[in-house]
Amino acid sequence: MSRVPSTVPPEGAVIPKRHPKAPASGTRIPSHFGHCFGCGELHPTGLHLVAHVGDGQNITAEFTVTDNHQGAPGLAHGGLLSLAFDEALGKLMWLLRAPAVTARLETDFILPVPIGTVLYITAEITGQVNRKVYASAEGRLGGPDGPVAVRAASLYIIVSMQHFLDNAPKEYIEYVTKHPELLAFVDPDFEINP
């Protein structure tokens, strides 16, 4: 049986410094892909999560729960709430300017999240060891100081951009290449070989 990776930074983990070319505090973090269900503006039923860079190794994000995000009648689906946290926590990688994949995500549901409400998320990097980046987040109802409805912790692994090219269907890569408007953000200086 394989060992399950922890989302708790191990002894010796450090809080990494923000990359010199990371977006400035207060800046809206762009979508990495227009059709991303989490943050893409082009996805018709997605979360349309919007995130902004904080003052440290943190971000704030929010999304409005719509009819498209229901599980039980009138309430957000737990899986979609997990998605929102995966998206928000993943946006922390913009501070490091390194592409990464989710290795583990733990989500604790504390309060129901009704449709029509806005979930306010704060996320921060809690440590890094080599390519492993640890982070945590909280989601609040009714405003940034409202009651905590969801908590999450994660472990991301920094990968090269080649990882995404090697694992997406070749036909889709060709399609996206012919439709660059789908790639909401392309930065030639983005670290591709961490």
∠ CA 131-134-138 to the nearest 5 degrees? 150
d(CA 40, CA 19): 24
Provide the CATH number for the domain formed by 28-182 in this structure.
Answer: 3.10.129.10
**Average pLDDT score over the chain:** 87
- Give percent above pLDDT 90 in the chain: 65
What digits encode the pLDDT tens for the residues 157-178?
999 766 666 766 777 677 767 7
- CA 124 from chain centre, in angstroms, equals 11
The DSSP secondary-structure symbol of 44 reads: T
Q: Outline where DSSP puts E strands in 130-185.
A: 132-141, 148-158
d(CA 116, CA 83): 18
